[in-house]
Structure 1
Amino acid sequence: MNQDIINQLKDTSEKLLLEKKILSAEELNQGYILFSKKFGTDILKSLDDEQLIETIFNSSNKEGLIYWLEYKNDDEFKTNSYSYGGIAGGSAFKYIMYKRRLDNKWVTGHPNKPVLLSTDKAIELGKNLRDSLVVGAELVGKLSENATIEDYIKLQEELSKELISNMHSLGWVHKYYHMLYAKKIGAYHAIRWQRHALICCNIKPQHENKLYIMDGQLIQIAKQLNLPTSQLMNSMYELFGAPINYYRISTSDDSKSHWDEMKNGGYTSIGWANIGDLRDYEKQKKSAIKEEIKKRLIKAEPNNPNEINKIAGKISSFYKDINIGDVIVAFEDEKVVGVGEILGSYEYREGLDFPHILKTDWINIKEASLTNSSEGVDTVFYMYKDAENIIKIRALMDGGVIPPQKLLKLTGIATEIDSVLSRKKQVILYGPPGTGKTYHAEKVCCELASRNLLNKSFLSLTNEEKRLILGDDRKNGTVRICCFHPSYGYEDFIEGIKPRVINNQTVFERRDGIFKKICSDAANEPEKKFYLIIDEINRGDISRIFGELIMLIESGKRGKEIILPLSNTLFNVPENVYIVGTMNTADRSIALLDVALRRRFGFLELMPDYTLFDDVEFGGLPLDGWLKELNLRICEHIGKEARNLQIGHSYFLEKGKSIVSNEKFKRIIKEDIIPLIEEYCYSDYKLITKILGEGIVDVKNQIIRLELFHSSDISNLVTALLSPCPTLRLETITMDEENEEVEDNYSGKES
């Protein structure tokens, strides 16, 4: 492994420890010891009958194995991904059998085909699974701490042979073995993450679809760096990020090359202009999109029936599969001509021969070749699987090493905000309450200002450097904020006559407003970018606040001067001033905004983000699924404006992270969510019942059942909240199914 990567991993681990973002070796060991005392193989072997299945397979049992592996995160034991590796997400079927919370029935099978078990059948299956889990643990226990890769290959073979029900590929089984044998089994519990980590270390995985063989390679790295496996995993995640995909794309058609257009335009594109804009199918699943594309292709190219299915698959993959952060390798005449990183989502540019576009940052545009040059040859679009090719692609991107202090690309909403600001100079973030509009406005503006001024991420700045961005009581920074309200006016924003007391006498003087000040500072420092955040922009009288300056903020009118009527001075809005507004659509629709304002601003919608709560549950209630179902019921029952009245994720966040306390969850439901829904429904308790459920509302007496919130036991409240959505946890894909899918992908099977 490259020495630069070794140094980077060591430095990252030290940094995370200093920042207390990960557990120390001593804290980790305390957790391992505690876990072994509760769930070691001797303990599991001593369990019998109902005690066995309740202890191992009932996720509602807070003293049970499943709860400790996936959910427990308190002062006693932290099981999350920053300690022992995460296995969150997916349905309870990943445990092969589980106890359904809503009716206490034992279930096995698959989300699409659940099978109910009698208690006797559940005990029988539970014993078989327990015995298999213990056999595997004993095999791992026999493995030497100085085991070679060959030893791990043998371990993989033995586990595949001895464990039933495909347990050798399950993430929770792998994590159980890690908790017992942390020096032998790593803290990455999914194949895709293991493979990504090895490739980022310039190491070819020995067997790309084998969980325990790649473990052997990662354990060797941990020994080389003298790091606990958990700390290694967290350092790799911090340094390498999440797994990405690498795609080959052809830049030519039968008649000409389109590479220069892609390179100069900063995008990746494919042909088939005759099928039109794929955003027509934005809300459809990939399989449905493929069928629609086939219909268009048959109509446009009736003489090419044999290739249509294959072509439709490639086009639908281009549209649905490529994500921001993925890497594109551009080919021409079987030579690599460019390597780039995807920056934006799909666009359609009518009039181009290759109109289906993804914005791309072309990092390397030197001609090269890959190790296995035949992979993906003669294809227009292809996802790379060969690890040696991916290692070579990464080498082309950064010379084969990780650049020190590399400034990561913007992702997600930050990329979209930056894109709109580059084009329009101003953007409004709008959406239902609690969707993080102000949070993202402040976070992204600080990040953009930091990158412009200091070429650093805002999170890496010292306190002194942050003052340059945020300002202090002596000097304003490059990011400033104000909040509009009904009494806010032109005199507050641009300039006005304000009273001031001098020697006990009230005098009136002209005073510049926040916008005039930031424009003046920006004009004096044109090399800096200045950002003004206007919170609740829709609550002010826009026409009165902006006055004649509504024209000057337009991107094409920047620098144009007018005379301010009060001060009789020339004024213009510099090119380096950017405006980010926020707007709560529960208060006012975009349609009601001033037309002149709408034309000059770009708009980005922020909706509830359920992915923030993938591994969060309260007494068995999965927060992501429950909140999504709640919003679906709001949309169904409230009326035409319901989409703007959904409950945002921010209600359940503290300092950008999900709450984990049952008491805080109860208070938020009682003090925030229920009053909001009562307001939406105008205290119509029949309507409130349709949204919250009969367990929460006493319709006859027209009251909320507040007694549910007074008990220290949250189970009754959870039962009431889940009553409208009994199949809540039965509709998702597990990490372990992903492991199986990756096994298929890297064993050459076609989907």
Structure 2
Amino acid sequence: MKLQTLLEKAALYNSDFNLVEEAESGRRSFIKRFPIDPLREMTVEEYADTKTKDSFIYWLERKHILAGIGGGNSSKFGIYRAQNGDYCKGYGKHKVVLEGEILQEEFYALKEGIIQAIMLAKEDRISELSKLELPLFNMVLLKILNIYVPEKFFNVYSPPILIELGRELELRDDLLLPQNSVELNYEVLNSLRKQDVFSKWSNQEISIFIWDTFAERDKMIDEDVSYWLVGHTYENEGSIREYLLQNNRIAIGFLREDLSPYLNEEDMNDIIIEKEDSTAGQKALKQFFSIKEGDFVALKSTFTRKVDGKTKSVLRISGVGIIKSDAYDGYEFSESYGHLLPVEWLDKEENEYIGYGGYRSTINEAKNKNVINIAFMQEERGQDSTISKPESQQDNFPNNLVLYGPPGTGKTYHIVDRALEVIDNKTFVELQADGREALQQEFLRLTKEERIHLVTFHQSYAYEDFMEGLKSDGAGNFIPTDGILKRAMIEAMYEGVQNNTNNYTEELRFEQLYDYLVTNGIKQSIEFESKTGGKLIISHISVNENLVITSADAKTRSIVSKDRLLRVFRYIRLHDIDWKNNISFIRDAVGGSNQTRYWSVLNWILSKLDEEVEEDSIEIEGDEKKAVVLKALNEKKSFDFTDVKRHVVIIDELNRGNISKIFGELITLLEEDKRLTKNNELIVELPYSKQKFTLPPNLYVIGTMNTADRSIALLDTALRRRFVFEEMMPNPEHLESIGDEIDVEAMLTVMNKRIEVLYDRDHLIGHAYFINAKTDEEIISIVELKVIPLLQEYFYDDWEKIGLVLGGIGTSKEDPYIVYKEEVNVNDLFKQRPSLHIRALYRVKQKLSTQELMAIYD
């Protein structure tokens, strides 16, 4: 959103002070329960025992104070209590049980870190927070700081919103990263406060305005389901809440008549109007019969209450669940309780929300995004971890992975997740809570930074594109040019020499300036000043491409070699020599004579370095990062890949290329133990550039493979041995809520069973073909334009098999099948009856309806 648009909306915005006060009241209640001074005395039980429903992390996540921090798992709090009572850190395979002194030491460090973070924030030393390396997710730390230092932060923790605001407010680029969301929140708030429209707003007002305007939390809401608030109090019978929770049901009491006989009627609304007199009852029954399987439901009651002397509306939620059957399938009738539907209760805890009353009807469909989030979006339903997937094990991620399966199974979709998991799993888990768009934004950012490299193989793709090849420079010469893998290798390997890059860069600049003298010194008549003030020039270049230096009278000549001069340069840096006022150090560095002439050339080069000469005055060719890597390899310098940034090469459609031809010597280098710094590291010389090449351990290769193009069994054995293969098959369950009359899940399931029998499992049809469909019309269009052509390709126009996959073959166009057989009248077609066998003609209906698609699985 453009800053100008945001400011215009702010100028017209009317703050809801009930919400402002509620947010601030919640923050104060947290401070009252956990004052800052006694934090140092807090026990691990007070911090992490969620079963008491009164612990520090329970209040952070479950008490609806400020913005939510759902998503991820309980390891986001650093230390948490598992269901079995153990105190732990980490998750999944990295889960570690903490006991005794180790538990106390770990908790003491965590607690001190939190306190130190609060102190740093109070002193505006925000940039130092990252140095604490707290084991907390950013959103958790940000919420803690927002509670204890409310004047410095505001109640927006979503990285996509903060990044977008930061970009519009023209903050530093290095802040616009999910990893920097704490400092980014601080800087965004400061920048917003400088805008006139926000100058008198409280932090809470700004927060609520941002949430309302961006609706970022909408990403947590499934647009394909509805969210229902259903009452549980009958006019003459009181509350039936306990019955509903114990029996996993919702109910409405209007019209105490069993409506089962009418469920198959075409228009239930007409029957409801005919049988129920009251408008409220008609409305409630119509909504009841529109509830579908998968919709969310909450038991609610609304009333008013005096709060701080003011009358405020209150929404009380007494249970949250998911509907298990559509109204027409799961309907039951009870003489005592009326019309019933089955529910799986996710949360039976009672919560109240001030300022959200007004839902007075028996059934209300919640459409206000804030209400949906506070009432339904609590992912931890009395568990020690969220519903979301367990944290992936980044450290165990294979260096080489292939996702393979039939078309449309989501391989390319999931590769975004895998790449982000590899590069920074903590950030990946946090961004999952912000939805798919947040993950895509981070993926694009990393691609632009060249942390992720994407390539698609095809039949003409070659080694020269992937590794290196000779390409024309436009001047009649062919020069070695790096391919995508080599560029990725350089980027990744550079991380391993980062601790020494300053030294390497200085040396490279030094060497480049020396090479410049070799190439241009005579041509440009470059002169060198001696220590005594005399002038020296380059006489010529030796056969070894060293400088031959002479004086103006040309009486003597001396070689100044690159190697010896570089040794002098290193000696100066190592011993911090005052080279401008001294000359004797040259003999100490390399021995021999010609000190004056070595000093003269050295003086010219170092003066250029000190002056930081612009590259356009002295042309320095070559990519500096690449030069650093190659220099380190050539000089056999040590690399350190401990805790370095990770890089990913994504190869889409891996099996469409000639694997052996494209990979070349990489086949061997792919093995994890052959990578740089590993036990059996291999470094090879490339055929075109003659440069050294290896693969670093922080470079990951992830490929996708469509088994309909080529079976995994046909892959090069050497490649199969070096990759981990993960099968991705169709998952029709993802389609259960798509369509009205057409049961896409059933349709795809039976089609794939038939394809597996008639062909094989490599040519099934993936669920992704239908994943974005919403209506029956869209499903029909997908079958017409994508599925049928795909089947034609699979079965080479064998219409009998295609017809079998699609449910059968009709005898005429009127039959409810997609494929039908057309009889040929031989006598009408030919003057003489042919002796040849006349094959049957198969036709495909050009325009399909729900009837034909339902016939596939009925």
Length-normalised TM-score, structure 2: 0.43
Give the TM-score taking structure 1 as reference length.
Answer: 0.48
Of the two structures, which has the highest relative contact order with CA contacts closer than 8 Å and spacing of 6 or more?
1
The structure having more radius of gyration, on CA atoms, is: 2
